[in-house]
Amino acid sequence: MAANIAETALSTMVQGINAQVSSQLLEEISEQAGRLKEEIASALRELEETLPLENLRDLISPIQPERVLDLANPLTYEIIKVHEAGDLANSPVAFITLIWIGSILGAVVLYLSGKDRKYKDQADQVKFYLLQSILPFIYGIVGAYIAAWYSTWIFGFSYASFHQMALYLALAITSFIVMIFATLRFFGLPSLAIYIILMFFSMPALQLPREMMQTSTVNICIPYPSASFGDGLRDLLFYSHSLWNSYSWILVGILHGQCSLFRKYH
């Protein structure tokens, strides 16, 4: 969106400069042609030529026909797009809703599987907690590869590295599951409304160019985990093409922080 706005602005600006320069050139050529015609007319009068002087202005053309187009558009320009998005321009927005809903469902399943669960002994409890800690990673990897594959099939997306894309989605899904699951463990199922509200009211804000919004608007309207995911996905697809970027480490930090909190709680 920001690139399209900038391209339209640049094109309009060049068109305006073209019109102004063209008008100035034509005005200057017209003045020079008028002076030239007066000088020729004076010379013909002195020579007493029989050429009709009233037709002299029509016989002298101030502009050569092959130069008319050059004067109409004296400036030429070319817009070169760097880090061109192509068909993947809307991929961060397309993925964020899918990843967010999938993470909520995974966290709810984990929470309900352990709610009011009776354990035979402490070993059984440790075994269940260990399984509960591993499942988000398995769920994230499987879900990420399915999502990446479906995106190539349904949306026709094509990635420079399919596996890097899938692994980044797996990191995001796992981080979001653990974050939502930790919230559910502390505050119960009603706290799920927080993440549902974030999904419905904050996701559209991710489509807006961040550079054209006020800092306070960005901090208030755009949820931090979602913004990190979207920015990291853009960096992966359009800039560094590397799985490990600054935004990936933010997701790792979210995952590590929530896991540490969860272990402390247990």
The number of residues making up the chain comes to: 266
pTM, full prediction: 0.66
DSSP category for residue 83? S
Report H helices in the chain. Answer: 2-47, 56-59, 68-72, 91-114, 122-150, 162-187, 192-202, 215-221, 224-234, 246-265
Contact 170, 204 (CB under 8 A): no
Query: Would you give the distance in Å from CA 263 to the centre of its chain?
Result: 37
> Quick one: pLDDT at residue 70?
63
Chunked mean pLDDT (size 10), the chain, 266 residues: 79 82 75 69 60 52 58 74 73 81 88 78 78 86 90 82 88 87 83 81 67 68 70 81 77 68 51
Please report the pLDDT score of residue 145 as a whole number.
92
For residue 16, give Cα distances in angstroms to 7, 188, 228.
14, 61, 39
User: Which amino acid is it at 91?
Assistant: S
Q: Which residue, 252, 123, 133, is CA-closest to 185? A: 133
